[in-house]
């Protein structure tokens, strides 16, 4: 082989090697999802399934729906938003940040009172129920009712049942519903109001009582595409979320799938 041909062969070998290395190191296409904290476990599992099937990778940000909506408004690169209530999806829709025709009512949930697993409290939640007596000297853990959906629902329920005003000064306000759950898990609050799906993943806690569904607005999780453009991976994940595999996972975690 001549020196010229040897150099050409070596160059072709290098190009081929780099191409193979590039393919090996290629990352799957991603979709960025902003979702309510209460969906963390279920949505993480759904994202892992989506990736195992080779459809792409989910990058998720979990927080209070209000926090996420404000971040989207300020330019955060979310492609899909799953809110824990309609208010914050309405907010984005009014600001033309939701893609027309993509919004659907996706999930439902229940509101419950949680206590430590060794508590003997069996709460009958009805008008005028003795919440302060059950709290003793402790505080009631809730998502901040000024902006966290779980806290907004809690305030609505406690107001309807006639116990909001006396208990308001005794609130332990958390940044999101998972924070409210954690306060009871750590023993920093004797009782908390969270979603039924959050209580289901906390073995050291028990559901002491379930709030009547007519004591607060229906708990609805709307889902929508956001941003000006929809990437193929975002569209695929949006469709995947509405398919039977994702719905089965949400159902297993205790959500009502609409």
Please report whether residue 152 resides in a domain: yes
Q: Note whether 211 and 115 are same-domain residues.
A: yes
Helix segments in the chain, DSSP class H = 3-25, 40-52, 65-73, 86-94, 131-135, 149-160, 164-167, 177-185, 196-199, 232-241, 244-252
Please report whether residue 22 resides in a domain: no
228 pLDDT tier (thresholds 50, 70, 90): confident
Domain that holds residue 145: 111-215
Q: Could you give the number of structural domains in the chain?
A: 2
Give the residue-averaged pLDDT of 70-97: 96
pTM for this structure?
0.83
- Which single residue is written with the structure tokens 């590039």? 22
- Using DSSP bridges, classify how beta strands 171-174 and 140-143 pair: parallel, antiparallel or unpaired: parallel
Please report whether residue 13 resides in a domain: no
For 40-73, the pLDDT digits (tens) are 999 999 999 999 999 999 999 999 999 999 999 9
Please report whether residue 20 resides in a domain: no
Q: pLDDT averaged over the chain? A: 90
């Amino acid at each position: 082989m001549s020196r010229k041909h040897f150099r050409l062969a070596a160059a072709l070998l290098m190009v081929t090697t780099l191409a193979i290395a590039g393919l090996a190191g290629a990352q799957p296409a991603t979709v960025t999802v902003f979702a309510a904290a209460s969906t963390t476990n279920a949505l993480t599992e759904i994202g892992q399934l989506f990736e195992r099937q080779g459809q792409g990778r989910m990058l998720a940000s979990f927080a209070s729906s209000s926090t996420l909506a404000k971040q989207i408004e300020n330019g955060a690169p979310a492609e899909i938003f799953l809110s824990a209530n309609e208010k914050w999806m309405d907010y984005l829709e009014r600001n033309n940040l939701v893609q027309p025709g993509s919004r659907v009512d996706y999930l439902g949930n229940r509101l419950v009172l949680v206590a430590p697993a060794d508590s003997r409290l069996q709460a009958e939640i009805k008008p005028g129920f003795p919440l302060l007596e059950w709290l003793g000297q402790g505080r009631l853990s809730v998502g901040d009712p000024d902006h966290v959906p779980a806290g907004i629902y809690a305030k609505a329920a406690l107001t309807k049942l006639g116990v909001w005003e006396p208990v308001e000064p005794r609130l332990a306000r958390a940044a999101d519903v998972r924070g409210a759950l954690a306060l009871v898990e750590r023993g920093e609050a004797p009782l908390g109001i969270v979603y039924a799906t959050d209580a289901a993943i906390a073995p050291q806690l028990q559901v002491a009582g379930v709030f009547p569904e007519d004591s607060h607005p229906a708990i609805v999780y709307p889902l929508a595409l956001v941003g000006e453009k929809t990437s193929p991976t975002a569209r695929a994940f949006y469709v995947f979320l509405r398919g039977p595999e994702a719905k089965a996972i949400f159902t297993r975690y205790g959500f009502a799938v609409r």
